[in-house]
Structures are given as C-alpha cells and as structure tokens.
Amino acid sequence: MSLPVGDRPRRPEWMKVRAPSADSLYGDVRKLLHSQHLHTVCEEAHCPNVGECWGRGTAAFQILGDTCTRACRYCNVRSGKPQGPPDPDEPRRLAEAAARMKLRHVVVTSVDRDDLPDRGAGHYAATIRALKELLPTASIEVLTPDFAGFEEQALALVLAERPEVFNHNIETVRRLHARMRGSKANYARSLQLLTRAGEVAGYPVATKSGLMVGLGETNEEVVETLRDLRAHGVEIVTIGQYLQPTPKHTPIDRWVHPDEFGSFRDLGRELGFNSVFSAPLVRSSYRAEEQRLSADANR
C-alpha cells in the first residue's frame, strides 16, 4: 500500500546532487547525443548522476529504441508497443558518437524487445561490431535484458563479439522480483543467464549485476541476493538507492543510510566479488570503467 504523500520519507542530504557545472562537458555531450538521435539510459531513466557523468564526457547508450515491451514498477523508461524494427543505422551512429567522445569504456544497454524474434540480440551484436571498428582500443560493456525464450541463442550472438563485460541486473530481491518486474521476468532465470554467460563466452568475460534497495526488502534479503549472485559466478556488483521516478511508480520504502551501503560493500568483498560499488547514488553504469578496472585488478 502506498503511503500518503505527507507520510513519505523526505529525501536526505546524502541523496542530493549538484546541477551540471557551466564549464563541464555536459552541454557538449547532450548536443552530440541529440544530434545523432541516440537514446541514453541517463535521460530515459532520469538517472541522478547524469550531470556528473555527462560533465565528465561519459554516457550509457540505450539501443533498440525508447519503448520497452515490459512495465517494471520502478522504471521510468516508456512502456508500450514499439513501432517497427530496430533502426539498422543506430549501431553506426552510436559508434561514431562514442568515438567523438573518445570513450575508453562504452556501456550499451537497451529496452526489452520481447516483440523481436531474437529479442534484440542481433542488434547488440551489430553495435559491438561497429564500436570495435571505430574504437578498437575501448572496452565494451553490455547491460542486457533477459532475452526470455531466446536466452541461449542470444548469449551466443552477443558474446561471439567478445564484449569485455556482460551485465544483467537482478534489480531486486527474490521475494519482490515478480511484483516489481512483472510476470515476464524471473529471478532464477536472471541468475542462470549470468552463469551461462560465463560458460558460453569461451573467454574471460567479466559478469556483472546490480540491485536497488529501498523497494521494501530487508537487509537480510539483500545479503541473500548477494550470496545468490556470487554463487552464480558474478564478479562485479552494484548496489544503490531506489528513487521513485513519478507518483505512479512504486513509492520509496526507506532511505538506506550510507553506513548500511558500506556494510553491503564489506560483505560483497568478503563473499569474493572482484568489484563492489555500493553507495546511495550508485547505478549500474555509474563509473563503469572504474568498476571494470577494479575487477581486473582483483582477479
């Protein structure tokens, strides 16, 4: 049940972010992305770190359009029926933008496309190829959906292009998974996808996942999820505070204190993750290059 507006917890000081600096790269990045008609999860999901990340000249690209075939209760990305097939020119435009930004690490994510026979896996593969052609020295991270019903074939298509990081977010704890993500998603399937990515790759791909807190889970359930992820071979994990994007989305259950995030980080390290980023404003793609480098150093 949603709390009345007056009873909802107020945003604490540690969740407040600064506006983009006038002398940062924010405006240049925004202009470039819009001129190339590219989507980013930074804008589509109303990420609180957009000012910082774009101000540093980085961004997380969103492919396969701006309309998702699912309607997760925490996500601000538009939901509905996508119009037409993926844009075949999108991989080229994305790679050109990444090259102009001189990115050393490129994050590519997407909406869910359950309407496509391959669930969008072929478009991921084409995007990786375009990036490797124009930015051969950059590392590539893909943050994929679960490819429900096409998992094995999708993994083979995507991992044949050898991205350095394969990311699929578990998002929330087992008890809340179906309620928050809907009937098309499955907690066990997400875990299995992460395990199979490492097995299918045939090279040392880093597997990664992330979850939000503040959706109604307990700290004990967060610990259980971390143990599940580690047991399924995940090397990199991110933990951040859920933010309610609009009044129609799931309300925030609690503001998790930075000290609790520190405890999650310590536990993650004890469990054997090679990289753990856990803090209120952490998102899956936040400082993704640092996450990868941290994992590489601890392998």
In a domain, 245, yes or no: yes
Task: List CB contacts of 228: < 8 A, sequence separation 6 or more.
Answer: 170, 174, 191
The conformational region for residue 162 under phi > 0 = left, psi -120 to 50 = alpha, else beta, is: left
In a domain, 187, yes or no: yes
Per-residue pLDDT 10s for the chain (299 aa) are 344 444 456 889 988 877 776 667 889 999 999 999 999 988 888 888 888 888 888 899 999 999 999 999 999 999 999 988 999 999 999 999 999 999 999 999 999 999 999 999 999 999 999 999 999 999 999 999 999 999 999 999 999 999 999 999 999 999 999 999 999 999 999 999 999 999 999 999 999 999 999 999 999 999 999 999 999 999 999 999 999 999 999 999 999 999 999 999 999 999 999 999 999 999 999 999 999 999 999 98
In a domain, 101, yes or no: yes
Residue 142: its pLDDT value, please? 98
In a domain, 7, yes or no: no
CA angle 244, 245, 247 (to 5 degrees): 75
Dist CA 242 CA 76 (whole Å) = 12
Residue 15: its pLDDT value, please? 87
In a domain, 6, yes or no: no
- In our burial notation (b when 16+ CB lie closer than 10 A, e otherwise), range 210-242 reads bbbbbbbbeeebbbebbebbbebebbbbbbbbb
In a domain, 74, yes or no: yes
Residue 23: its pLDDT value, please? 66
Question: Which CATH number goes with the domain that contains 54?
Answer: 3.20.20.70
Residue 7: its pLDDT value, please? 47
Task: List CB contacts of 220: < 8 A, sequence separation 6 or more.
Answer: none
3-state secondary structure of 167: strand
Dist CA 168 CA 188 (whole Å) = 13
Dist CA 239 CA 289 (whole Å) = 16
The torsion of the CA quartet 218, 221, 222, 227, rounded to 10 degrees, works out to 160
What's the number of domains the chain is made of? Answer: 1
- Give the sheet arrangement for strand 60-63, strand by strand: 39-40, 60-63, 105-110, 139-143, 165-167, 206-213, 236-241, 275-278
Residue 2: its pLDDT value, please? 41
In a domain, 237, yes or no: yes
In a domain, 151, yes or no: yes
**Contact (CB, 8 A) for 182 and 70:** yes
Residue 3: its pLDDT value, please? 45
Domain of residue 25, residue span: 12-298
